[in-house]
Homo-oligomer: A and B are copies of this chain.
């Protein structure tokens, strides 16, 4: 992705990848002085620690990223908490775990009681949608560290999430086979990835382009991330459906499917409809199709891999929670390749430690 529009917008993904690799190589060398409890290799959405022979704890951390800047610019703080919950719980469920709790970390330029109350309201809405508790958190007042847009409303919002999973029920992707089906579940918009690039496409967040059906650019970009917990938990609980792979479509787009632990490829021949905001972003800036595909979810926020024979049953379960879920493709034996109608992408595999 060198010389990309994203780099032009201030986020150097190549250098971040290199930096991340260096960081991970040190951290994976940690010797805790006892047997390691980590179950999964690096690369998945969440890792799992074995508590005993049967029970695992799934762990993941993620933040809202530069979406907070949209919230600051609109002066609307009651939805980013939903994004914070969503980005974390949607990762935890990818290994088949049930999310139980999240710790929030809020760094602020100044501790504005009204702003923080609004942030808390979003966290509460998200937590109840995801059926989790927030048993603790940290509020750090760091005026010299956090930049506001405008000042003094600067903040960073991050979560760390925990779930439980029976160790014999971990869904890593290892049982995925060529011929399996890929089901896509719609996103609500850009979610919490690619906001730096998305913002660079617009000069005025209060603009109401025809494409957005009456909404402003700012409102559309701030639309909270969809929470897929209930649909995925119901899918896993359904004895009739063999859930083989679960992928939260974040930064990296459908390439996220390659994070599943399976030596396969994916043919996405019937992608979900591209949401209007993505076409609008593409029309407002010089950006290659491949970069759009790698930065944004483009309308599909979550994928489930099931045997072809389980597609109808899976769609029935998912449709009780989300409109518009559909069969979007199939698993191939072309390892490491994601084939879309107008592009073939390959290779990128995340590190478990993620960079956003």
A308 touches B (CB below 8 Å): no
Complex Cα distance A104/B140, Å? 16
Query: How far does the Cβ of A63 sit from chain B's closest Cβ, in whole Å?
Result: 5
Interchain CB contact under 8 A, B133 and A63? no
Task: Mark the stretch among A47-55, A219-227, A258-266, A326-334 that contacts chain B.
Answer: A47-55
Any chain B CB within 8 A of the CB of A273? no
Q: Which residue of B lies closest to A148 (CB)?
A: B145
> With the chains together, A63 CA to B106 CA distance in Å?
10
Closest to A149 in B: B144
**Interface of A (DSSP majority class):** mixed
Q: How large, as a class, is the contact surface on chain A?
A: 35 or more
Which residue of chain B has the shortest Cβ distance to A69 in the bound complex? B144
A194 to B38, CA, bound (A): 35
Flag if B63 contacts A16 (CB, 8 Å). Answer: no
Each complex incorporates copies of this chain amounting to: 2
| Contact assessment for B143 and A11 in the assembled complex, using a CB-CB cutoff below 8 Å | yes
Looking across the interface, which residue of chain B has its beta carbon closest to that of A17?
Answer: B111
B113 adjacent to A12 (CB under 8 Å): no
> What are 22 residue pairs bridging A and B, where the CB atoms are less than 8 Å apart in the complex?
A10-B143, A11-B141, A19-B113, A23-B120, A26-B121, A27-B123, A32-B133, A36-B133, A37-B101, A51-B164, A57-B57, A59-B162, A65-B140, A65-B142, A66-B142, A69-B144, A136-B352, A139-B355, A142-B156, A146-B147, A147-B147, A162-B162
Within 8 A of B (CB), among A224-238: none
CB-CB < 8 A to A60: which residues of B? 103, 136
